[in-house]
């Protein structure tokens, strides 16, 4: 008999997050809601005067920040309550109300940045002298003026804006086509016929039945291949749109246009690809070892995802998970652990699944709330690791918000996965160094190796593919489905090496990667893990000031550009040593895994 999922009301309050710390009552919520509605109505009064003096500019900025801060707090209350139980229509309605006023305010306040960029920055510098408090916003104002050479006339910007939805339509068309219109039929999983979909494919590729893997691989990519003309047109349309926008907005390339927001130099992207290309041998060794462990004469691409290690069956209580995480992170010092314990003592965490609760896990919050963690804890080792990961996000947010004024309290996406990955790596190292269970160690090492393979090597292969096709488009090369497929096939041959059979159908895999519509995003996965590895190695090697430097990085929030913030933690992403430190960690884990496996 299937076990019934508990209702929200049946979960003990001690296992739920305490959202009354945001608003104790709906009366309190409505009070802030009414205030922000009133502020939004008054805000347009700034349009005519906010650039007349430093005092006027400061007034407009402070009012903008107050509105933004209130909306963020209101939304967080509605969003977290709604995710706790999506069947609760009260909070669905609240979310809708907040989204509506946020959209309204976005339109009302849209005059600010274009108006600023019509001015010369020297005018703002005079305002600093008139109104010294304006200097508190200097970094943000300087960052806005970085865009001055890339902003067109009002008429031109309006034309581009009117085409924004069309220019960004490729991803939506791709998603609908690949997820709704494409069908892949049925495959046998060894016991029964199951439907092959983009979602089920990943699970089927981990099947211990080789015929299931082979048939799933063959069927999926044959279907994709039959739509090669259509999908190539969709992707090439997206590439052309991004290249055209970068050209009209005076960027040297589409890549540099994408990197501009985070003030990332092109050399960081190029350095990442070059360093990985120079360090493919550990990956080849990983596949050679896997081939031996699977006892295969030939290793095909459809064999590379199957696990060579039985899953860890040990179940952990939440208290055990908490204890493991705290012990693993104790290397970060007493202050960090004292602050971390607030997550448990002050009910930041919603622990167990219940009917209507959203799936997965995340860390969320705003400047005026605690960082909150949503879990669906199920007692597996993965759940323990997820707890460590999400608490990494939460502690990063906690330190960012407690050490910066509101305008500098949010860190950039470029560094968003660093703290969470540091926590995961510290947990894994703790388990490896403090467990006598060799089977558990093999599981931990196997998971780490899969992480490095997927997050660094695979994402860099994607990043290299993106770079190549954009460069060809910028050289006015005609991008056909055949050219795209050939480039992708050759990259697979390079990244998998000569001892893996690179099946011809893999040339169509680029068609099923939605990240190629995210405009040079995938490299951030690799830089994030590389940064975390470098930080963890410094901490575990007890390098001077490694911990204090890392904590200072967590406190930096959005007060500087991401590369400068990472330097605080001893990470210089312009140097190959950072990426090499991740490769060295991968190599060490692989050696430990191989030795332990041979013992077993």
- Closest CA relative to residue 447, chosen from 328, 292, 303, 312: 312
CB-facing half-sphere around the CA of 202: CA atoms within 13 A:
5
Partners of 362 in beta bridges: 374
Q: Is the separation of the CB atoms in 453 and 286 below 8 Å?
A: yes
* Cα–Cα dist 323/549, whole Å: 25
Helix (H, G, I), strand (E, B) or coil at 351: coil
- Which candidate in 102, 125, 222, 390 is catalytic? 390
Partners of 299 in beta bridges: 500
* Cα–Cα dist 163/141, whole Å: 28
Strand extents, DSSP E, 235-354: 299-300, 349-350
* Cα–Cα dist 97/388, whole Å: 34
Angle CA 515–577–460, to nearest 5: 15
Q: Is the separation of the CB atoms in 87 and 356 below 8 Å?
A: yes
* Cα–Cα dist 499/225, whole Å: 25
Q: Torsion over CA of 535, 540, 541 and 547, rounded to 10 degrees? A: 60
Burial track 401-427 (b if 16+ CB lie within 10 A, e otherwise): bebbebbbbbbbebbbbbbbbbbbbbb
Rg (CA), the chain: 26
Other CB atoms within 10 Å distance of the CB of residue 202: 11
Helix (H, G, I), strand (E, B) or coil at 369: coil
* Cα–Cα dist 480/37, whole Å: 52
Q: How does DSSP assign 466-492, residue by residue? A: HHHHHHHHHTT----HHHHHHHHHHHH
Alpha helices in 132-182 (DSSP H): 138-145, 154-162, 164-167, 169-176
* Cα–Cα dist 458/202, whole Å: 15
- For this structure, is 471 an active site residue? no
Partners of 188 in beta bridges: 193
Q: What's the per-residue H, E or C state across 413-430?
A: HHHCCHHHHHHHHHHHHH
Q: How does DSSP assign 208-235, residue by residue? A: S-HHHHHHHHHHHHHHHHHTHHHHHHHH
Those residues with Cβ within 8 angstroms of residue 233's Cβ, 6 or more apart along the chain or in another chain: none
* Cα–Cα dist 184/204, whole Å: 13
Please report how the helices 459-474 and 523-540 are oriented relative to each other, as an axis angle in degrees rounded to 10.
140
**Residue given tokens 């699970």 in the structure block:** 203
* Cα–Cα dist 15/9, whole Å: 12
Active site residues: 390
């Amino acid at each position: 008999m299937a076990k019934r999922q508990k209702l929200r009301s049946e979960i003990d309050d001690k296992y739920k997050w305490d959202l009354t710390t945001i608003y104790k009552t709906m009366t309190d919520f409505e009070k802030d809601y009414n205030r922000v509605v009133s502020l939004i109505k008054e805000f347009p009064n700034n349009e005519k005067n906010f650039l007349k003096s430093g005092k006027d500019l400061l007034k407009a900025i402070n009012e903008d920040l107050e509105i933004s801060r209130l909306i963020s707090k209101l939304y967080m209350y509605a969003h977290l309550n709604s995710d706790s139980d999506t069947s609760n229509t009260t909070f669905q309605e609240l979310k809708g109300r907040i989204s509506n006023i946020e959209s309204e305010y976005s339109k009302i306040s849209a005059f600010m940045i274009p108006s600023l960029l019509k001015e010369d920055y020297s005018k703002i510098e005079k305002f600093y002298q008139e109104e010294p408090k304006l200097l508190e916003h200097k970094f943000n104002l300087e960052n806005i003026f970085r865009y001055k050479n890339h902003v067109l006339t009002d008429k031109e910007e309006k034309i581009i804006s009117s085409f924004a939805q069309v220019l960004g339509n490729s991803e939506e068309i791709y998603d609908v086509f690949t997820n709704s219109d494409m069908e892949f039929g049925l495959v046998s999983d060894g016991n029964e016929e199951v439907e092959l979909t983009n979602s089920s494919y990943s699970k089927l590729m981990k099947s211990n039945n080789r015929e299931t893997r082979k048939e799933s691989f063959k069927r999926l990519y044959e279907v994709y291949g039959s739509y090669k003309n259509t999908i190539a047109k969709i992707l090439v349309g997206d590439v052309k749109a991004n290249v055209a926008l970068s050209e009209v907005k005076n960027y040297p390339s589409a890549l540099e246009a994408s990197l501009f927001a985070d003030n990332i130099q092109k050399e960081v992207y190029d350095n990442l690809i070059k360093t990985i290309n120079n360090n493919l041998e550990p990956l080849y060794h990983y596949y050679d070892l896997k081939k031996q462990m699977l006892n295969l004469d030939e290793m095909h691409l459809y064999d590379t995802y199957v696990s060579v290690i039985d899953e860890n069956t040990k179940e952990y209580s939440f208290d055990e998970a908490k204890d493991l995480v705290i012990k693993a992170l104790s290397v970060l010092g007493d202050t960090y652990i004292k602050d971390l314990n607030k997550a448990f003592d002050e009910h930041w965490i919603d622990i167990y699944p219940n009917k209507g609760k959203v799936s997965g896990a995340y860390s969320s919050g705003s400047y005026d709330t605690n960082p909150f963690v949503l879990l669906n804890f199920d007692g597996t080792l993965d759940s323990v690791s997820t707890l460590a990961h999400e608490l990494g996000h939460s502690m990063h947010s906690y330190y960012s918000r407690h050490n910066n004024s509101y305008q500098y309290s949010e860190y950039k996406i470029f560094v968003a996965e660093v703290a969470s990955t540091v926590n995961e790596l510290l947990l894994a190292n703790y388990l490896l160094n403090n467990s006598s269970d060799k089977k558990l160690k093999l599981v931990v090492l196997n998971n780490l190796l899969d992480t490095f393979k997927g997050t660094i090597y695979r994402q860099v292969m994607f990043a290299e593919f993106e770079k190549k096709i954009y460069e060809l488009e910028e050289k006015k090369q005609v991008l056909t489905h055949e050219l795209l497929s050939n480039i992708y096939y050759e990259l697979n041959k390079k990244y998998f090496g000569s001892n893996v059979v690179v099946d011809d159908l893999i040339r169509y895999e680029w068609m099923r990667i939605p990240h190629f519509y995210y405009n040079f995003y995938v490299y951030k996965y690799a830089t994030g893990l590389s940064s975390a590895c470098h930080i963890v190695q410094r901490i575990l090697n007890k390098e001077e000031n490694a911990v204090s430097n890392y904590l200072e990085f967590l406190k930096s929030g959005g007060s500087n550009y991401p590369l400068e913030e990472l330097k605080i933690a001893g990470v210089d992403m312009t140097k190959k040593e950072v990426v090499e430190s991740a490769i060295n960690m991968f190599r060490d884990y692989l050696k430990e895994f191989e030795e332990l496996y041979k013992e077993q």
